[in-house]
Amino acid sequence: MSVPSPILDAFGLHGRVAIVTGASSGLGVAFAQALAEAGADVVLGARRVDRLEQTKALVEATGRRALAVATDVADPDSCRALVAAAVEAFGRVDVLVNNAGIGTAVPALKETPEQFRSVIDVNLNGAYWTAQAAAAAMTDGGSIINISSVLGITTAGLPQAAYAASKAGLDGLTRDLAQQWTGRRGIRVNSVAPGFFASEMTEQYADGYLAKQQERILAGRTGDPRELAATVVFLAGPGAGYITGQTIVVDGGLTIA
């Protein structure tokens, strides 16, 4: 009679290979480090390849392997090259965290077509191109985690039409890819919608903005990136094996207040 594995085994990623885009700073660094701590080897993609070396060192400090690849997710060829590099280096791809993203705050009557398209091209189209490439390489199932935002669900007092549209679109993309790939290919696709977490984007807010928004957060504080990373690790592993097509909100209660 076999002995059941301890429940914590369901949260381990030993023997898995994960790709994280936008891994050169902020939340991407937290995701990469947490995935490595859970046992995964991590492939790091971003445009700023010099800064990827810092994330690579954090991953390797956990005892896991890391690979840094210069990547522009708005370029489908670059997305395919990222996945190909992962397969060449580590032999497989099991997890993709679509984290690369940009944000703007431009009034709708002043936003140019170029400004709007640039956000959609990275946040939505880039996630699609990378998911396409990764899914083709996931020959034994896998997990794709799209980093969305509560701004795909609610508003936050800034003129962010492009950003909000891209994140709402990403949640829709998540559902559709899940219904296409989970049954046929064993690939679960979910999105995570963070509230306010420390990142390069939050550093650009005007003085007093975060304090004002914090009044809406039931937890009374902004989130710690490690709290968000824990959700990503959960969705990446076997413990979330029956979860697909979902948007998991991690916002301290902001969207229900």
Active-site residue (options: 128, 163, 205, 242): 163
- Whether residue 250 contacts residue 231, with contact meaning beta carbons closer than 8 Å, is answered with yes
Length of the chain, in residues: 257
| DSSP string of 126-167, one letter each residue | HHHHHHHHHHHH-BTBEEEEEE--GGGTS--SS--HHHHHHH
163 is catalytic: yes
Q: Closest by alpha carbon to 101, among 129, 121, 79, 117?
A: 121
Helices (H), the chain: 26-37, 49-60, 76-90, 113-120, 126-137, 161-185, 200-203, 209-214, 225-236
Known catalytic residues are 163
